[in-house]
């Protein structure tokens, strides 16, 4: 007999559907992702820690899961909301159903909901805290659980998802289908220290492909310990939560500015912005999908980008004489990239590693390699 699942929001809204995945109750900020593919990468992206995710593509689970598409060692989403759940996958790469994968990871799923109605609510009123139960909780209890769950604002989640110990990474990117073309990996010329605020594996692979051998370090690593590793460059990763509580992390990056080239992505972009004296703010419902248009102001070209963030840097908090705003979101004009005018650093809000998504912005990894070459020759 099919079990019932219930989603309750902090405003008192209740939605009932069919239960899949784990039999449990989880809370989180309810957000939506408009991607047409790549649900496994969403499941395992640490940036989704603390969030219950709505996938707007109507059918999820239809191509199963496989170990190659994991972006971390475990699933990080708190729960999943879908319109239709496919119990039978059809794909040559599939090794496990999405249902079995999430059940094993302790993630509850609710299906047969009007996901368009919920997304319209979030777009008009902003994201809400929610509670998702596949374990028989009453709607009234779940509304109270949602109201009492922590707010994303002010929440440090990067420390929670970060690696506990440093480790090395040398594996380059590889094609996930016979039609995908990836250039042969460059020799591992550059030693890059990567701060793990919730890093995705494909970011590490893309860095390795352009000639980096990496030491991945915990989010709380000091600048002194990083410099002791004698890096050719420093990378700041993506991650979950509010950037403003990460004062210690921003202070460490501030000490590294001018000492080594720095490249940041997503939360790393926000932390670098804070290190430069900027401020951040929370977006109404965030950017999550694989088709967001971004203008590269340096080239005049529009890049179709992968995005997953709920916070943004404030463009008015920087001095124009020091910081160049290099990329702008064409949907809402928010900042998507910046570069220091005199120091060797740059960062972007979106995800150029494209896991999943378009490859328009993968040149940024080459730009980082070029910056390290130039810095070494200076």
Question: pLDDT at position 256, please?
Answer: 98
Say which of 29, 112, 266, 312 is annotated catalytic.
266
Which of 110, 125, 147 is the C-terminal boundary of a domain? 147
Question: pLDDT at position 355, please?
Answer: 87
Q: Does some domain include residue 305?
A: yes
Question: pLDDT at position 181, please?
Answer: 58
One domain, residues 208 and 83: no
Range of the domain at 89: 4-147
Q: Does some domain include residue 152?
A: no
Q: What are the structure tokens assigned to 82, written together?
A: 């879908």
> pLDDT tier at 1 (50, 70, 90 boundaries)?
low
Which of 127, 147, 167 is the C-terminal boundary of a domain? 147
The H-assigned helical ranges of 106-258 are 115-125, 139-147, 158-161, 201-209, 223-228, 247-256
One domain, residues 221 and 354: yes
Q: Does some domain include residue 192?
A: yes
Residue 351 is a catalytic residue: yes
Percent above pLDDT 70 for the chain = 96
One domain, residues 10 and 108: yes
Residue 212 is a catalytic residue: no
Which of 93, 118, 147 is the C-terminal boundary of a domain? 147
Angle at 171 between CA 165 and CA 219, to 5 degrees: 30
Is a pLDDT exceeding 60 seen at residue 5?
yes
- Judge contact between 41 and 355, C-beta under 8 A: yes
Residues 6+ apart with CB under 8 A from 56: 32, 33, 34, 115, 116, 119
Question: pLDDT at position 175, please?
Answer: 59
One domain, residues 334 and 372: yes
Is a pLDDT exceeding 90 seen at residue 27?
yes
Question: pLDDT at position 346, please?
Answer: 98
> pLDDT tier at 180 (50, 70, 90 boundaries)?
low
- Judge contact between 347 and 318, C-beta under 8 A: no
Q: Based on the structure, what is the number of domains in the chain?
A: 2
- Judge contact between 112 and 80, C-beta under 8 A: no
One domain, residues 44 and 126: yes
For the residues 167-174, what does the mean pLDDT come to?
A: 87
One domain, residues 124 and 68: yes
In angstroms, the CA 349 to CA 179 distance is: 28
CATH number of the CATH domain containing 240 = 3.40.50.880
Say which of 41, 71, 303, 353 is annotated catalytic.
353
Residues 6+ apart with CB under 8 A from 43: 65, 75, 76, 77, 80, 98, 101, 102, 105, 107
For the residues 169-183, what does the mean pLDDT come to?
A: 67
Is a pLDDT exceeding 70 seen at residue 183?
no
Q: Does some domain include residue 121?
A: yes
Is a pLDDT exceeding 70 seen at residue 322?
yes
One domain, residues 284 and 372: yes
* Mean of the per-residue pLDDT values of the chain: 95
Q: What is the pLDDT of residues 87-112, one digit of tens each?
A: 999 999 999 999 999 999 999 999 99
One domain, residues 88 and 190: no
Q: What are the structure tokens assigned to 358, written together?
A: 């378009």
In angstroms, the CA 289 to CA 80 distance is: 15
> pLDDT tier at 284 (50, 70, 90 boundaries)?
very high
Question: pLDDT at position 172, please?
Answer: 85
**Strand residues in 22-143 grouped as ranges (E):** 25-33, 51-55, 59-60, 79-81, 84-85, 108-111, 128-133
For the residues 141-152, what does the mean pLDDT come to?
A: 97
Q: Does some domain include residue 268?
A: yes
One domain, residues 143 and 42: yes
For the residues 326-332, what does the mean pLDDT come to?
A: 98
Q: Does some domain include residue 153?
A: no
Q: Does some domain include residue 229?
A: yes
For the residues 47-58, what does the mean pLDDT come to?
A: 97
Q: Does some domain include residue 361?
A: yes
One domain, residues 91 and 220: no
Question: pLDDT at position 71, please?
Answer: 97
CATH number of the CATH domain containing 40 = 3.50.30.20
> pLDDT tier at 296 (50, 70, 90 boundaries)?
very high
Residue with tokens 């009007």: 114
Question: pLDDT at position 378, please?
Answer: 57
Is a pLDDT exceeding 90 seen at residue 210?
yes
Percent above pLDDT 90 for the chain = 93
Say which of 287, 292, 327, 351 is annotated catalytic.
351
- Name the residue among 368, 364, 361 with its Cα closest to residue 345: 368
> pLDDT tier at 133 (50, 70, 90 boundaries)?
very high
Question: pLDDT at position 188, please?
Answer: 74
CA dihedral over 260, 264, 268, 274, signed as positive or negative: positive
One domain, residues 167 and 119: no
One domain, residues 162 and 108: no
Is a pLDDT exceeding 60 seen at residue 314?
yes
In angstroms, the CA 245 to CA 239 distance is: 13
Question: pLDDT at position 99, please?
Answer: 97
């Amino acid at each position: 007999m099919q079990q019932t699942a219930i989603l309750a929001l902090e405003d008192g809204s209740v939605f009932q559907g069919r239960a899949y995945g784990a039999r449990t109750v989880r809370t989180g900020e309810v957000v939506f992702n408009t991607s047409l593919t790549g649900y496994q990468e969403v499941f395992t992206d640490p940036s989704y820690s603390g969030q219950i995710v709505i996938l707007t593509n109507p059918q999820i689970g239809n191509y199963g899961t496989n170990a190659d598409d994991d972006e971390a060692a475990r699933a990080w989403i708190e729960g999943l909301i879908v319109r239709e759940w496919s119990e039978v996958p059809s794909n040559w790469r599939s090794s496990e159903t999405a249902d079995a994968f999430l059940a094993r990871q302790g993630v509850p799923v609710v299906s047969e909901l009007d996901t368009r109605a919920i997304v319209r609510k979030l777009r008009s009123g902003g994201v809400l805290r929610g509670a998702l139960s596949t374990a028989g909780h009453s709607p009234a209890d779940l509304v109270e659980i949602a109201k009492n769950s922590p707010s994303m604002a002010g929440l440090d989640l990067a420390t929670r998802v970060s690696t506990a110990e440093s480790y090395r990474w040398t594996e380059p990117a590889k094609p996930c289908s016979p039609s995908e073309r990836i250039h042969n990996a460059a020799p591992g010329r550059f030693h890059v220290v990567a701060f793990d605020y919730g890093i995705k594996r494909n970011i590490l692979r893309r860095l390795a492909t352009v000639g980096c051998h990496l030491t991945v370090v915990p989010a709380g690593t000091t600048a002194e310990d990083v410099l002791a590793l004698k890096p050719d460059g420093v990378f700041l990763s993506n991650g979950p939560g509010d950037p403003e509580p990460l004062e210690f992390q921003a202070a460490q990056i501030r000490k590294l500015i001018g000492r080594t080239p720095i490249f940041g992505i997503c939360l790393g972009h926000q932390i670098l912005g804070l290190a430069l004296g900027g401020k951040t703010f929370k977006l109404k419902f965030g950017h999550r999908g694989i088709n967001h248009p971004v203008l590269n102001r340096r080239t005049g070209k529009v890049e179709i980008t992968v995005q997953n963030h709920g916070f943004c840097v404030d463009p008015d908090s920087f001095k124009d004489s020091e910081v160049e705003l290099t990329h702008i979101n064409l949907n809402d004009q928010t900042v998507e990239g910046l570069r220091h005018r005199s120091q060797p650093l740059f960062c972007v809000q979106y995800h150029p590693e494209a896991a999943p998504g378009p490859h328009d912005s993968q040149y940024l990894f080459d730009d980082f390699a070029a910056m390290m070459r130039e810095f070494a020759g200076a």
